[in-house]
């Protein structure tokens, strides 16, 4: 190939080739990017909808269907076992024919109305077992059979096992002749005395075809016994009785053994290595689990087709765009090439050259500007020469001035940095963590500012052996101003501590002094204010009381046993009005109670998705570590908050006080 036909040289020298190449690449890139992003977005949306909505609802509906069937059978069994005539007949050792006739009629009516495969009643004293089995039914009449139960008989061991289990009822699901049955056993009791056992049998296989039918996702469903991890119901009878791991995998089987009563969704490989959605739902009436599996590729089949169509469309778009760009690029580049040649000659000193064109668009305006530029070029060169002679002196002057300003800024910056460091040290003295444990309470408090200086603060005063004063506050705004106000507020609190034993009076006095110091008044612009929570813990004899005053702050939380509640709240923030009245609330505490004071920097922290941490997450964290010390509880709460807001900056100061009654 001749040198002038080299593709690389041709691309470098020809704007036509560059435009065509770049247009093709941009269209290909755009089409591919849109296709990829559309595929990923649709994939994520489908996965999220399946995991959070469709699959949990679907598997829960399946569980409800079985539970309704079992619940109905359990209620019928309980009603039958509590029948007065049945109890009297068994208590008289079955010697009254009229009671026997009435009881058998009721058994027959239950079978006829409910369509159960078995109904039975057994007497412990006589070892008599009355039953109806569907296989023994006649066309026109249902026969109630009788036999004796024996503890040595393998067939009758269930009776004695249930009798000694101390249960009032049980639900057993068993396989027999490629069918699955649910047997509901209930005790016959009168005045807490056991008389016998009665119950019904339900053939679950009768609705397997409808319940386990393949749906729009082409998924499969199984009923698995949780303790033995064996399959009890499947529309493939060869799987009944086999381990669940043979169809859903060993790893998923282990996760299934730890389920609660809420639907759980997992994405994992099945036994043949295919990625699969697995949905689980525990049944509340017995120890079984609904398992629903959907192959991942079935869900994503439509997306794969969309990706292929996007690729083909992109290829056709590139071909069409290529010919369009080829036509218009020649019209665009022709005057550009002419201007380029003129420019090369002008660069050699031919300043009298001009280029003419009839084009009225941007190229025409470019040509006119180019010609005007050529006319003024000589004049510009002359001016440039004169300017260059004075340039060095001007540059020197400007450089000197910039150096002087830079030095002044450095001096100011160092001074401000020293002041900021001093402020951090002073504030750090006020906010050292507080940790103490007495013979009747344990308390811990700590604070972490969001910036170098913060507006949150806390104070804990141990004035007497049986008293503990708690304060937590949040100054409006952030930065140096809020930090200075915080320092003033803490100093004011320290001065006022011990002056009065009344918490509400202390709050009113603090508000009045703080208002006149930095607050706001009628007709003036807004100043600083403080939202605060105040508490006084007292031990009065063998009782514990917490007196609280709230000044526009979040109410303290109380954890008692496993339940959370908020203490009474109300009241305006400190510094808004000079003569604000504050209401005192009294709460009796018990041993083991945990009181938690927080600032809004904890529950209003956002994560990457923009979601707030909120009180629910605070409660979960405290529940998780409630048996630990107050120091560990506080630090674990802050660790959970950091994990929740990973890759997100701390938005506000974080302060927490934790108190426990021992």
Predicted local confidence at residue 331, as pLDDT: 67
Tell which residue, 33, 27, 41, has the closest CA to residue 314: 27
Lowest-confidence range among 195-204, 223-232, 434-443, 535-544?
223-232
Task: Please state whether beta strands 193-203 and 220-225 pair in parallel, antiparallel, or not at all (unpaired).
Answer: unpaired
Predicted local confidence at residue 34, as pLDDT: 79
Strands, sheet with 288-295, edge to edge from the N-terminal-most edge strand: 230-233, 220-225, 288-295, 275-282, 264-269
Instruction: Express each pLDDT in 517-526 by its tens digit.
Output: 876 544 334 5
Instruction: Pick the more confident residue, 381 or 33.
Output: 33
Predicted local confidence at residue 471, as pLDDT: 95
Strands, sheet with 557-560, edge to edge from the N-terminal-most edge strand: 434-437, 441-448, 654-661, 594-598, 557-560, 563-566
Find the mean pLDDT for residues 469-498.
86
Predicted local confidence at residue 424, as pLDDT: 66
The alpha carbon of 51 is separated from its chain's Cα centroid by a whole number of angstroms, namely 13
Instruction: Pick the more confident residue, 361 or 269.
Output: 269
pLDDT at position 165 over 70: yes
Band (pLDDT 50/70/90 cuts) for residue 36 is confident
Find the mean pLDDT for residues 48-73.
81
pTM of this prediction exceeds 0.75: no
High-pLDDT (> 90) share of the chain, %: 31
pLDDT at position 138 over 60: no
pLDDT at position 12 over 70: no
Instruction: Express each pLDDT in 68-94 by its tens digit.
Output: 888 888 899 999 999 999 999 999 999
The answer to whether 505 and 581 have CB atoms below 8 angstroms apart is no
Instruction: Express each pLDDT in 358-405 by its tens digit.
Output: 777 767 777 777 777 777 776 776 677 677 677 767 776 777 788 788
Lowest-confidence range among 40-54, 183-197, 247-261?
247-261
Q: Where are the beta strands (DSSP E) in 296-361?
A: none
User: Look-up: residue for tokens 């009785």?
Assistant: 241
Find the mean pLDDT for residues 527-547.
91
The packing angle between helices 84-91 and 97-114, to 10°, is 140
The answer to whether 196 and 88 have CB atoms below 8 angstroms apart is no
Band (pLDDT 50/70/90 cuts) for residue 1 is very low
Report which DSSP code applies to 467.
E
Half-sphere exposure of 365 (CA within 13 A, CB side): 2
Exposed e or buried b per residue across 620-653, where buried means at least 16 C-beta atoms within 10 angstroms of its C-beta? ebbeebeeeebbebbbebbebbeebbeeeeeebb
Predicted local confidence at residue 595, as pLDDT: 96
C-alpha–C-alpha distance, residues 297 and 305, integer Å = 12
Highest mean pLDDT out of 105-119, 261-275, 553-567: 553-567
Instruction: Express each pLDDT in 564-619 by its tens digit.
Output: 999 998 889 998 888 899 999 999 999 999 999 999 999 899 999 999 998 999 99
Which helix (H) or strand (E) segment is 201 a member of?
strand 193-203
Dihedral angle sign, alpha carbons of residues 259, 264, 268, 270: positive
C-alpha–C-alpha distance, residues 125 and 145, integer Å = 18
Highest mean pLDDT out of 122-136, 340-354, 534-548: 534-548
Band (pLDDT 50/70/90 cuts) for residue 442 is very high
Highest mean pLDDT out of 62-76, 413-427, 523-537: 62-76
Instruction: Express each pLDDT in 167-212 by its tens digit.
Output: 888 888 777 666 778 889 999 998 889 999 999 988 877 656 666 6
Predicted local confidence at residue 3, as pLDDT: 47
Tell which residue, 225, 276, 218, has the closest CA to residue 249: 276
| φ and ψ of 402, to 5 deg | -65, -40
Band (pLDDT 50/70/90 cuts) for residue 139 is very low
Dihedral angle sign, alpha carbons of residues 476, 478, 481, 486: positive
The answer to whether 560 and 622 have CB atoms below 8 angstroms apart is no
The percent helix, strand, coil of the chain (3-state, each to 5) is: 50, 25, 25
Residues 6+ apart with CB under 8 A from 231: 222, 223, 224, 239, 240, 241, 242, 243, 244, 247
Tell me the DSSP string of 624-654. HHTTS-HHHHHHHHHHHHHHHTTTS---S-E
Tell which residue, 570, 604, 595, has the closest CA to residue 585: 570
C-alpha–C-alpha distance, residues 221 and 233, integer Å = 9
3-state secondary structure of 24: helix
Band (pLDDT 50/70/90 cuts) for residue 351 is low
pLDDT at position 544 over 70: yes
Band (pLDDT 50/70/90 cuts) for residue 469 is very high
C-alpha–C-alpha distance, residues 538 and 467, integer Å = 5
Predicted local confidence at residue 587, as pLDDT: 95
500 in the Ramachandran plot: left (φ > 0), alpha (ψ -120 to 50) or beta? beta
User: Look-up: residue for tokens 């001093």?
Assistant: 422
Which helix (H) or strand (E) segment is 546 a member of?
strand 543-551
Indicate the average pLDDT of the chain.
Answer: 82
Q: What are the tokens at 347?
A: 């660069």
Predicted local confidence at residue 214, as pLDDT: 57
Tell which residue, 238, 85, 84, has the closest CA to residue 175: 238
C-alpha–C-alpha distance, residues 63 and 540, integer Å = 54
The packing angle between helices 301-346 and 362-430, to 10°, is 120
């Amino acid at each position: 190939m001749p040198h002038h036909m080299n593709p690389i040289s041709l691309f470098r020298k020809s704007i036509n080739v560059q435009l065509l190449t770049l247009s093709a690449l941009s269209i290909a890139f755009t089409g591919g990017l849109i296709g990829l992003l559309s595929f990923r977005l649709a994939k994520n949306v489908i996965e999220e909808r399946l995991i959070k909505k469709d699959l949990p609802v679907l598997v829960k509906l399946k569980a409800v269907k079985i539970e309704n069937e079992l619940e109905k059978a359990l209620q019928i069994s309980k009603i039958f076992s509590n029948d007065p005539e049945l109890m009297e007949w068994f208590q008289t050792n079955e010697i009254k024919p009229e009671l026997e006739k009435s009881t058998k009629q009721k058994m027959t009516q239950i079978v006829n109305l409910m369509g159960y495969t078995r109904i039975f009643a057994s007497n412990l004293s006589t070892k008599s077992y009355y039953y109806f089995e569907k296989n023994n039914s006649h066309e026109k009449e249902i026969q109630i059979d009788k036999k004796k139960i024996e503890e040595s008989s393998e067939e009758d061991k269930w009776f004695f096992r249930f009798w000694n289990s101390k249960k009032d009822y049980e639900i057993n699901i068993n396989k027999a002749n490629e069918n699955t049955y649910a047997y509901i056993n209930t005790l016959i009791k009168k005045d807490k005395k056991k008389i016998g056992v009665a119950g019904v049998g339900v053939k679950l296989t009768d609705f397997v075809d409808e319940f386990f039918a393949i749906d729009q996702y082409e998924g499969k469903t199984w009923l698995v016994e949780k303790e033995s991890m064996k399959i009890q119901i499947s529309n493939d009878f060869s799987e009944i009785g086999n381990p669940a791991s043979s169809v859903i995998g060993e790893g998923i089987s282990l996760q299934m053994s730890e389920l609660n009563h809420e639907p759980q969704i997992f994405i994992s490989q099945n036994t043949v290595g295919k990625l699969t959605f697995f949905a689980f739902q525990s049944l509340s009436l017995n120890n079984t689990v609904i398992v629903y599996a959907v192959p991942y590729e079935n869900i994503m089949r439509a997306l794969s087709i969309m990706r292929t169509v996007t690729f083909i469309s992109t290829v056709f778009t590139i071909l069409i765009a290529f010919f369009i760009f080829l036509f218009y690029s020649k019209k665009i580049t022709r005057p550009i090439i002419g201007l380029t040649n003129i420019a090369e000659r002008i660069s050699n000193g031919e300043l009298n050259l001009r280029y003419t064109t009839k084009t009225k668009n941007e190229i025409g305006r470019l040509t006119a500007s180019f010609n005007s530029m050529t006319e003024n070029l000589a004049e510009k060169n002359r001016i440039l020469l004169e300017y260059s002679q004075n340039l060095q002196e001007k540059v020197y002057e400007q450089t000197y001035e910039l150096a002087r300003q830079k030095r002044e800024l450095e001096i100011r910056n160092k001074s401000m940095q020293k002041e900021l460091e001093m402020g951090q040290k002073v504030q750090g003295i006020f906010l050292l963590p507080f940790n103490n444990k007495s013979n009747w309470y344990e308390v811990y408090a700590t604070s972490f500012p969001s910036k170098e200086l913060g507006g949150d603060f806390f104070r804990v005063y141990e004035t007497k052996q049986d008293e503990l004063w708690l304060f937590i506050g949040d100054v409006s705004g952030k930065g140096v101003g809020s930090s200075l106000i915080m320092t003033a507020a803490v100093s004011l609190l320290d001065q006022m501590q011990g002056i009065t034993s009344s918490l509400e009076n202390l709050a009113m006095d603090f508000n009045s002094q703080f208002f006149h110091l930095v607050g706001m008044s009628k007709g003036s612009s807004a100043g600083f204010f403080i939202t605060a929570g105040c508490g006084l813990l007292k031990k009065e004899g063998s009782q514990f009381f917490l007196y609280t005053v709230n000044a526009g702050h979040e109410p303290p939380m109380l954890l008692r046993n496993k339940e959370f509640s908020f203490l009474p709240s109300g009241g305006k923030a400190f510094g808004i009005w000079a003569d604000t009245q504050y209401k005192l609330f009294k709460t009796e505490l018990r041993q083991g109670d945990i009181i938690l004071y927080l600032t809004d920097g904890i529950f209003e922290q956002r994560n990457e998705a923009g979601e707030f941490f909120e009180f629910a997450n605070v409660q979960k964290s405290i529940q998780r570590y409630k048996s630990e010390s107050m120091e560990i509880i506080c630090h674990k709460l802050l660790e959970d908050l950091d994990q929740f807001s990973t890759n997100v900056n701390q938005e506000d100061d974080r302060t927490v006080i934790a108190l426990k009654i021992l």
